[in-house]
Structure 1
Amino acid sequence: MPKHGKNYRKVVESADLTAKHEVEAGLKLAVEGAFAKFDETVDVAINLGVDPKYSDQMVRGAVSLPHGLGKEIRVAAFCKGDKEAEAKDAGADIVGAEDLLEKIQGGWLEFDKAVATPDMMALVGRIGKVLGPRGMMPNAKTGTVTFEIGNAISELKAGKVEFKVDKAGVLHAPIGKVSFGVDKLKDNLRTLLEIVNRMKPSSAKGTYMKAVAIATTMGPGVKIDPLTVRRFLEA
């Protein structure tokens, strides 16, 4: 088992991490326990009552958080013609087609997200094995394959978060930085949870949000009582 540092152990010892907390109390506990010298990211993990091996139970989408993510998102855009100017005007960090493909095939990956116009997807598909495992592959379901490429880039730059349930039925997503404070993180979390809740597959039976946990980059997970999530969303 990995050994944790003294700061991590101090947080664990000072808080009851076995208990399940109300949403706001859990957020506060996670933020107050942050100890790194850098501005840690705050992440949420949601264990959903779905079986992702069935396509009709796959939960995947994107959401624009009201306070963004507190980090600069570097965007690569695959497009041609007048869409190149649109992408550049929207703030894309690099724009191209075959030339961009060759650059990535050569090992260049200095970007966080990729967008593409639909006519470019046959080209982008050649590097699917590179982009897919890194969560960079453009996808129509998350709005990153579109002819409205300027809007897609602007949304990513403003803090749009893509999410996808993994093979174990767990969905992971960032909701901001420790420096945001509890109130802004609460707004971002509520927005994310509302979207995920709305996306419950009709074929999913039983409890949908089975477990929720919040953690900072270096800190331990703080458990949230899933029974309090509904009250949080209705507040």
Structure 2
Amino acid sequence: MAKITKKQKEAKGKVELKAYSLSEASALIKEITSVKFDASVDLAVRLNVDPKKANQMVRGVVTLPHGTGKDVKVLALVTPDKEAEAREAGADYVGLDEYLAKIKAGWTDVDVIVTMPSVMGKLGPLGRVLGPRGLMPNPKTGTVTMDVAKAVSEVKAGKIDFKVEKTGIVHAAIGKASFDAEKITENAQELLTTLVKLKPQASKGIYIKSIFMSSTMSPSVEIDAKRFAE
């Protein structure tokens, strides 16, 4: 069993056994984060859904008002006529066949792939490489589109996609510990508001069962989920 450090004990001691408001949790997370790098701040939201049933799947996109704090690497797999606009929008890598060959060989050093409907046929055979890493473009998340420039710009600005896991939990990074507490709060609020809007009609009873916020290696802080209940 891993030994708990002095700082970890101190952090744990500051977290009370209660449900905090979003603003209280955001401020507390900053206080109990002690790693030497700029830690990610994450939300874990347990939903009252059964992801095995198609009519209870929750998946969507949200643009965080203050971004993720992460320099997102974007690959634009586009035809030559779309390369210029993809580069101008900020794509880190732009091309097609050469990058398809690199991916086939195992290269996946990107965070998001944006492409066009006409290119998706070429990506099909690469599903085993891209799928497990969450890199396969999808029209539902806006990463398969003819408006490549818009898609790249949105991802760079803080657009993230999320999907409920088999356990009924949505995990999402909503910022960095270096953010002001207010910015962390507003990013979390945006994600939670979007989740509420996506409540499946087949989900009965309390939709959001629990919400926890944490940063890299910090204790989890429970957030009052009642205010998000319908």
TM-score by length of 2: 0.95
Are positions 1:13 and 2:40 aligned together?
no
- Distance (whole Å) between structure 1 residues aligned to residue 111 and residue 140 of structure 2: 18
Alpha carbons 2:207, 2:229 under 8 Å: kept? no
- Distance (whole Å) between structure 1 residues aligned to residue 228 and residue 8 of structure 2: 27
Unmatched runs of 5 consecutive residues or more in structure 1: none
Aligned residues: 230
**Aligned residue in 1 for 2:82:** 83
Are positions 1:33 and 2:32 aligned together?
yes
- Once the two structures are superposed, the pairs formed by residues 1-235 of structure 1 within 5 Å of their partners are 1-16=1-16, 18-229=17-228
User: Deviation of residue 6 (structure 1)?
Assistant: 2.9
Q: Which contiguous aligned blocks of 4+ residues in structure 1 show a shift greater than 6 angstroms?
A: none
Amino acid at match of 2:15: A
User: Deviation of residue 4 (structure 1)?
Assistant: 3.7
User: Deviation of residue 227 (structure 1)?
Assistant: 0.8
Deviation per CA, 1:203-225: give whole Å up to 9, x if none: 11111100000000120111112
How big is the alpha-carbon RMSD for the aligned residues of Structure 1 and Structure 2? 1.5
Say which SS state the counterpart of residue 167 (structure 1) adopts.
coil
Range with greater deviation from structure 2 (23-32 or 182-191): 23-32
Alpha carbons 1:23, 1:229 under 8 Å: kept? no
User: Deviation of residue 46 (structure 1)?
Assistant: 0.3
Alpha carbons 1:98, 1:123 under 8 Å: kept? no
Change (3 A) 1:4 1:109: farther
User: Deviation of residue 2 (structure 1)?
Assistant: 4.3
Q: Percent identity over the alignment? A: 45
TM-score by length of 1: 0.93
Alpha carbons 2:15, 2:221 under 8 Å: kept? no
Unmatched runs of 5 consecutive residues or more in structure 2: none
Range with greater deviation from structure 2 (107-116 or 3-12): 3-12
Alpha carbons 2:14, 2:32 under 8 Å: kept? no
